[in-house]
């Protein structure tokens, strides 16, 4: 079998927006280096100074170099009937594929990654970077971060791998179309994927130092993790992300609500680089209060943003408007004042379930009386309920619980305590404190709306259940 060990240098991290500036191919055949090829490429775009500092290739060095497309005939002759091999192969292969497609040619070769091979054939190393593998095998890389020198070093490492008795079966497995591990990050031990459960919970991606890169929630942890690395997209962010993932940890939650609350808490705690949501609250809709020129207090649903101060926040303006409608009907507030009726509608005569009618449209209130009623209604709304929310736990015989006190989430956790022994004090002893935020309020609201009252604790706190 012929192996083409490839290394490239580029203008940046992702093939969608960057170009190759140098490419090297070292052919390995019959257990030895058979041929070498290297060329600079004119990228038709500037090389950023910070990238020039890494590989030392400047704009002037590539100004007279051939375009990548002009090198394709020569590279095709070398790459024909070979296995594409590179260190962190997704990066090099992704760039080569993008350059070929940009030139109007297909590019498809079986591929192997020397990082992944190294993890299996030389276990126990602290790192599987090119420099660390060179050190392990006493291989000199004369000019690191230049394509030919790195390709030669990778080829020497590959030849050492070939001497290992496990090389043949391992490469056969990696090259198999049935191998689901081929899209995984090079530094991630495929065995860690097998340990992931197909249950609801959260998962965390860590770098080589254990720092959290990303936190996610899933109904099936294993399936969701695999989705992150499936397909053939090679964006800059995805390439950088994949190259940094070294470890995965997880926490099962039993129920989706617990997973969402735990995800929210972990993102706030670790502030992962690749989590764009929940680092700061992104409000969609809100309910606001203002006094009009006639002295009446009005409520309105509208767009909530970073610098606004809504009374209540919601995921969308539509959800805010619906909540305001329910609140107004419940407390007999004027629908017209609260901008819930069309402008040509003169009155909002209605009667609530409690028999309350709109005070203004019935002519029973001036601005002072109406404003007192608005404020009194808002105080009841802001006060919120105290309750226990129960749901299935992580295993049989376990219950997940969330404690809400005056509308704020105060604790959550799991317990195997029998229901007959449940009291507020006993339940709270099983829970861990939870820091309530606007995000967590948004998360829990739809679950509260569909929960069913189950029982009442001795302290008078209602217990609601979720299935």
Enumerate residues 6+ apart whose C-beta is below 8 A from 120: 166, 170
Alpha helices in 229-297 (DSSP H): 236-244, 256-270
Enumerate residues 6+ apart whose C-beta is below 8 A from 334: 328, 348, 358, 359, 360, 361, 370
Q: Which of 145, 173, 183, 240 is catalytic?
A: 145
Which of 465, 411, 408, 410 minimizes the C-alpha distance to 441? 408
Segments of 81-133 assigned E as strands: 82-86, 111-113
Tokens of 307: 């610098």
Tokens of 71: 């090198």
Could you give the dihedral angle defined by the CA atoms of residues 53, 56, 58 and 64, in that order, rounded to the nearest 10 degrees? -160
H or E segment at 213? Answer: strand 212-218
Place of tokens 């070093």: 153
Tokens of 437: 């935020």
240 is catalytic: no
Total length of the chain: 467
Tokens of 175: 């090259």
- Three-state SS for 52? helix
Place of tokens 């991630």: 188
Residue 256 CA: distances (Å) to CA of 17, 201, 218, 263, 443 = 38, 7, 8, 10, 10
Residue 161 and residue 117 in contact, taking contact as beta carbons nearer than 8 Å: yes
Q: Is the dihedral of CA 20, 22, 27, 33 positive or negative?
A: negative
Tokens of 21: 């500036």
Q: Which residues are catalytic?
A: 145
């Amino acid at each position: 079998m012929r192996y083409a060990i490839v290394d490239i240098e580029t203008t940046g991290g992702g093939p969608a927006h960057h170009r190759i500036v140098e490419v090297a191919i070292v052919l390995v055949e019959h257990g030895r280096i058979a041929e070498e090829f290297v060329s600079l490429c004119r990228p038709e775009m500037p090389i950023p100074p910070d990238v020039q500092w890494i590989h030392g290739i400047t704009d002037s060095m590539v100004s007279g170099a051939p375009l990548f497309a002009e090198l394709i005939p020569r590279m095709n002759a070398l790459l024909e009937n070979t296995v594409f091999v590179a260190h962190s192969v997704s990066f090099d292969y992704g760039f080569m594929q993008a350059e070929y497609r940009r030139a109007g040619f297909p590019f498809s070769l079986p591929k192997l990654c020397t990082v992944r091979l190294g993890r299996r054939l030389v276990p126990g190393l602290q790192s599987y970077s090119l420099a660390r593998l060179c050190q392990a095998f006493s291989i000199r890389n004369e000019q690191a971060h230049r394509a030919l020198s790195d390709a030669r070093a990778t080829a020497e490492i590959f030849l050492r791998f070939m001497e290992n008795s496990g090389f043949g079966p391992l490469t056969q497995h990696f090259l198999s179309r049935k191998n689901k591990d081929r899209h995984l990050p090079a530094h991630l031990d495929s065995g860690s994927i097998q340990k992931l459960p197909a249950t609801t919970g959260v998962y965390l991606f860590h770098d080589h130092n254990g720092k959290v890169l990303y936190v996610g929630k899933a109904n099936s942890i294993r399936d969701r993790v695999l989705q992150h690395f499936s397909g053939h997209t090679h964006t800059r962010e995805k390439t950088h992300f994949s190259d940094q993932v070294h470890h995965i940890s997880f926490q099962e939650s039993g129920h989706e609500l617990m997973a969402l609350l735990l995800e929210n808490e972990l993102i706030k705690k670790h502030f992962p680089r690749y989590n764009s949501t929940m680092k700061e609250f992104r409000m969609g809709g809100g309910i606001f209060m203002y006094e009009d020129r006639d002295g009446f207090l009005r409520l309105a649903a509208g767009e909530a943003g970073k610098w606004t101060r809504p009374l209540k926040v919601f995921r969308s303006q539509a959800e805010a408007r619906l909540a305001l409608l329910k609140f107004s009907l419940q407390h007999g507030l004027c629908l017209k004042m609260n901008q819930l009726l069309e402008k040509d509608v003169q009155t909002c005569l209605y009667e609530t379930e409690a028999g309350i009618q709109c005070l203004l449209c019935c002519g029973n209130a001036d601005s002072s009386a109406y404003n007192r009623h608005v404020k009194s209604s808002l105080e009841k709304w802001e006060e919120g309920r105290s309750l226990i929310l129960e749901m299935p736990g992580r295993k049989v015989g376990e219950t997940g619980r969330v404690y809400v006190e005056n509308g704020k989430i105060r604790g959550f956790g799991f317990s195997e305590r029998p229901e007959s022994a449940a009291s507020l004090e006993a339940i709270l002893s099983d829970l861990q404190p939870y820091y309530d935020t606007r995000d967590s309020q948004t998360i829990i609201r739809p679950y509260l709306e569909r929960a069913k009252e189950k029982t009442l604790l001795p302290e008078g706190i209602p217990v609601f259940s979720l299935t």
